[in-house]
Amino acid sequence: MNDLFGSNLVAMATPMEPDFAISQPGVAGLVDHLLATSCDGLVVGGTTGESPTLTDVEAADLVRMVAAGASGRARVIAGVGSYDTAASVRRAREAEAAGADALLLVCPYYSKPTQAGIVEHCAAVADATGLPVMLYDVPARTGTAMTAATLIELAAHPRIRAVKDAKGDLFEAMTVMARTSLAYYCGIDELNLPYLACGAAGVVSVVGNIAADRNRDLIDAVRAGDLEGAQAIQTALLPLTDAVLRTSQGAIMAKAALARLGIIPHATVRRPLLESPAADLRRLTDVLAAAA
């Protein structure tokens, strides 16, 4: 286990009531479920947690709820990134005060800053607290990639310690790992096995909301050098990964699966997301039944 972040991380969904308020019983139940299925890192208020819809107060309260439920049994990594450096600095400080163990900092989105702007943004947030920072490189969502040179430069900051890589460029990932001490985490469930085989420290998984125990088995198999066993685990996860991530949208389908399994009370998502249509739910139900 990486002492700062864990290795089997889950991008937590944010349980909500039918009126769209955050569900405290749902959060408590989901935390208990994730801890019981070998998750050692809880990523709170990230993309799967519908971060763009959370107010500052909700984001801090969510960290506080998860930290209380985790009780030191798993790292709590708070998503604090936005397109506004000042807002990200504020959220970072609020997350630290609420009990976060680390921060997840997405590349600033929409505004498409230069690489120099990305460096200044990330350094400002990292300077704002005493917490370790995991960068989140996801150009499909942000519109801008962090280049290898940017990641290498940011690695010199004493609190920037890891990368959640949802770019999918394995050669670049291996290059940065070879030239820095950054711990890499796969942020693309479809590629968990190749990233781990290339030296990633762990995963930040959406599918882990439902199957963190199987991700734990995958990580352990790779670390033990059991490639054949790891391949078998990844192959068995393919139908669930496909149903959660390639049917409509990850946050929607993760909540639908959790509700179907009785782990959270409702599959409510906030607009502009919409709950799964019946056809998607039938497919998901079939996959969950087959995996049981």
pLDDT at 3 over 90: no
pTM of the model: 0.96
User: Is 111 in contact with 162 (CB distance < 8 Å)?
Assistant: no
84-111 tens-digit pLDDT: 999 999 999 999 999 999 999 999 999 9
Q: Clarify whether 195 is annotated catalytic.
A: no
Residue 221 is predicted with a pLDDT of 98
- Measured between alpha carbons, how far is 190 from 268 in angstroms, rounded to an integer? 25
Instruction: Give bridge partners of residue 270 from the DSSP assignment.
Output: none
CB atoms within 10 A of CB 53: 16
- Nearest one of 34, 3, 30, 1 to 14, comparing CA atoms: 30
271-286 tens-digit pLDDT: 999 999 999 999 999 9
Contacts of 214 (CB under 8 A, 6+ apart): 233, 236, 237
pLDDT at 83 over 60: yes
Residue 19 is predicted with a pLDDT of 97
Q: Clarify whether 136 is annotated catalytic.
A: yes
Catalytic residue among 83, 109, 110, 164: 164
Q: Cα(first)–Cα(last) distance of the chain, in Å? A: 27
pLDDT at 128 over 90: yes
- Measured between alpha carbons, how far is 181 from 160 in angstroms, rounded to an integer? 10
216-236 tens-digit pLDDT: 999 999 999 999 999 999 999
Catalytic residue among 109, 136, 167, 185: 136
State percent of the chain over pLDDT 90.
98
Query: CA distances (Å), 13 to each of 5, 105, 202, 254, in order?
Result: 18, 17, 19, 7
Residue 2 is predicted with a pLDDT of 72
139-159 tens-digit pLDDT: 999 999 999 999 999 999 999
Residue 1 is predicted with a pLDDT of 52
Q: Which domains, and CATH codes, for the chain?
A: 8-231 (3.20.20.70)
Sequence-ordered alpha helix ranges (H) in 24-135: 24-36, 56-70, 85-98, 115-128
Q: How confident is the model at residue 292 (pLDDT cuts 50, 70, 90)?
A: confident
10-44 tens-digit pLDDT: 999 999 999 999 999 999 999 999 999 999 999 99
∠ CA(184), CA(116), CA(180), 5° rounding?
Answer: 30
